[in-house]
């Protein structure tokens, strides 16, 4: 791995002399930063900007020695620093600096810390607390890096944002579980999206899978060998970890489970999410040669239609990397008992991409009349704004108030329609409904992805299709069987096995 010298434990230490501008004049005051992470004499930064006396500098120097001697003070200092910040813009910025340090982005954190310390409008106590906390973190990290790196060998390593609440985590959870059940050793490197939250916590569903044996977390300073490394989502690698493990993989794949733009309309792409060239460069610099996979037929078609020049030199696999689902875990024992009502449901995050953008289309997909009830899991602020309030036949469950499986057990069919120019990379929510045995009524653009597993129609046909399915037990059962059969062939552990290495292909200590 080609890490910068300042992040490497193996390279000789060098002293880096920088210059900082004094707060009250344009005169320059030199100060010394000791690798590996800068600010070895953090108190002097503050001196440069507020003109502390020599005696105050000596006190800070003694504090530094005390911290170095008592590493237990690190957490206390960091906690006090965080507690000293209110929720103003500057305080949120200071909190983010600490999060960046803890999340594996020290270069960016130190750069922001320097800028923060130079802002004389920020109260002295807040600047001092932040610098002390940064220095405490540095001393703690220096001590940790004196130890020999932890070396591990895995069959599969997942490099992913393991804290997201939606489809990315569902896809990771399913694949990790299948790998574990196949007897593969799995390593997880939590890689937050820097611009969202540089120290995002693990999703509880991911935490439940980590047992320290078959599924283990990888630390920032580890050295890892694996047969296969899986990178997903690509947006994480727009700003890769600056403190990161050395990973040597026999094969690396990058899964584009989202398109580079969120919307693709008649006027062209809009609302950029990530950049192909940037991710390609960052993955190559860290992990070497790799193969790209589209996260489904729709993503692959979008890449070829709208990004042909950008992907011309990529090693793009001819087939998509379809998400998988554990059918036995999702399949419901029986359908909801018919009661004369028709419950149309849907669950997804509440984003404008996920809903039809026109009032007439929305009400056609989710009728506001008898005998229909509309049940939503995940919030409905977008349709509420579009309709100036939700119709009386809507029931909305907040995100995570029910498990997806429990929600699906209470509806008759799912209707899944999104913005006309929105690009849904895959559609995890409808996949879960199909696996549960709930017929899914979808926009025809999803047919290349799900084939016979769903029923396709126009928005103004949704009501008639829902009435037909719920009134005819044989048609309902036939659609369930068609979905289960197709999912078992294309979206189960069987399809994933073809992409995975055999157990124990890597050599070395476990």
- Reported as a single tens digit per residue, the pLDDT across 431-454 is 999 999 999 999 998 998 899 999
Q: Are strands 28-33 and 16-21 parallel, antiparallel or unpaired?
A: antiparallel
Segment 288-311, tens digit of pLDDT = 999 999 988 888 988 999 999 999
Cα Dmax for the chain = 87
Segment 245-302, tens digit of pLDDT = 999 999 999 999 889 998 887 788 888 999 999 999 999 999 999 999 998 888 898 8
221 strand-pairing partners: none
Quick check: 233 and 169 in contact, CB under 8 A?
A: no
Indicate the length of the chain as a whole number: 510
**Residue 474, H or E segment:** helix 473-490
Whether cis (ω within 30° of 0) applies to the bond prior to 371 is: yes
How many whole angstroms from its chain centre is CA 317?
A: 23
Quick check: 423 and 474 in contact, CB under 8 A?
A: no
Q: Taken in order 427, 432, 433, 434, is the CA torsion positive or negative?
A: positive
Quick check: 33 and 45 in contact, CB under 8 A?
A: no
How many angstroms separate the CA atoms of 20 and 12, rounded?
25
How many angstroms separate the CA atoms of 219 and 243, rounded?
10
Segment 484-500, tens digit of pLDDT = 999 998 888 877 887 77
How many angstroms separate the CA atoms of 110 and 194, rounded?
15
What residue spans of 199-247 are helical by DSSP H? 204-207
Higher per-residue confidence, 148 vs 445: 445
Q: Which residue has the tokens 């094969």?
A: 251
Query: What DSSP letter does each residue of 21-78 carry, written as one string?
Result: E-SSSS-EEEEEE-TTTS-TTHHHHHHHHH---HHHHHHHHHHHHHHHH-TTHHHHHH
How many angstroms separate the CA atoms of 243 and 245, rounded?
7
- The packing angle between helices 473-490 and 462-471, to 10°, is 100
DSSP 498: T
Segment 113-146, tens digit of pLDDT = 999 988 889 888 888 888 888 888 888 888 777 7
Segment 421-435, tens digit of pLDDT = 766 666 789 999 999
């Amino acid at each position: 791995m080609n890490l910068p010298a300042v992040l490497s434990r193996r390279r000789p230490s060098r002293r880096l002399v920088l210059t900082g501008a004094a707060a009250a004049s344009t005169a320059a005051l030199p100060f010394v930063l000791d690798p590996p992470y800068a600010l070895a004499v953090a108190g002097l930064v503050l001196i440069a900007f507020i003109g502390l006396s020599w005696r105050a500098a000596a006190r800070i120097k003694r504090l530094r020695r005390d911290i170095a001697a008592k590493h237990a003070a690190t957490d206390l200092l960091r906690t006090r620093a965080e507690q000293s910040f209110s929720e103003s813009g500057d305080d949120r910025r200071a909190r983010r600096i600490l999060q960046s340090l803890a999340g594996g982005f020290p270069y960016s954190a130190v750069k922001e810390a320097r800028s923060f310390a130079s802002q004389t409008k920020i109260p002295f106590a807040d600047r001092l607390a932040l610098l002390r906390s940064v220095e405490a973190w540095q001393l703690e990290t220096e001590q940790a890096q004196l130890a020999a790196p932890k070396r591990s060998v895995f069959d599969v390593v997942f490099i992913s944002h393991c804290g997201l609440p939606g489809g990315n985590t569902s896809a990771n959870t399913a694949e990790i579980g299948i790998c574990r059940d196949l007897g593969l050793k799995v390593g997880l490197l939590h890689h937050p999206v820097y611009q969202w939250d540089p120290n995002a916590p693990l999703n509880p569903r991911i935490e439940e899978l980590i047992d320290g044996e078959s599924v283990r977390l990888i630390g920032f300073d580890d050295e890892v060998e694996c047969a296969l490394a899986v990178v997903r989502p690509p947006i994480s690698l727009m700003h890769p970890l600056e403190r990161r493990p050395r990973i040597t993989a026999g094969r690396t794949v990058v899964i584009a489970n989202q398109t580079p733009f969120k919307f693709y309309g008649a006027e062209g792409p809009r609302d950029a999410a990530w950049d192909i060239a940037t991710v390609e460069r960052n993955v190559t610099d860290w992990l070497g040669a790799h193969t790209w996979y589209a996260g489904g037929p729709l993503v692959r078609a979008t890449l070829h239609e709208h990004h042909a020049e950008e992907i011309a030199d990529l090693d793009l696999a001819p087939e998509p990397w379809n998400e998988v689902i554990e059918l036995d875990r999702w399949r419901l024992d029986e359908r909801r008992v018919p009661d004369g009502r028709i419950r149309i449901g849907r669950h997804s995050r509440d984003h404008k991409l996920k809903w039809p953008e026109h009032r007439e289309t929305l009400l056609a997909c989710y009728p506001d009349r008898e005998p229909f009830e509309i049940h939503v899991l995940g919030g409905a602020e977008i349709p509420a704004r579009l309709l100036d309030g939700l119709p009386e036949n809507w029931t909305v469950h907040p995100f995570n108030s029910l498990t997806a499986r429990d929600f699906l057990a209470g509806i008759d069919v799912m209707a899944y329609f999104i913005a006309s120019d929105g690009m849904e990379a895959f559609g995890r929510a409808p996949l879960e409904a199909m696996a549960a045995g709930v017929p899914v009524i979808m926009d025809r653009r999803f047919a290349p992805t799900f084939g016979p597993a769903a029923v396709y129609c126009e928005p103004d046909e949704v009501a008639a299709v829902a009435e037909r399915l719920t009134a005819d037990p044989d048609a309902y059962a036939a659609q369930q069987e068609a979905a289960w059969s197709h999912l078992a062939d294309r979206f189960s552990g069987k399809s994933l096995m073809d992409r995975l290495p055999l157990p124990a292909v890597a050599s070395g200590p476990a």
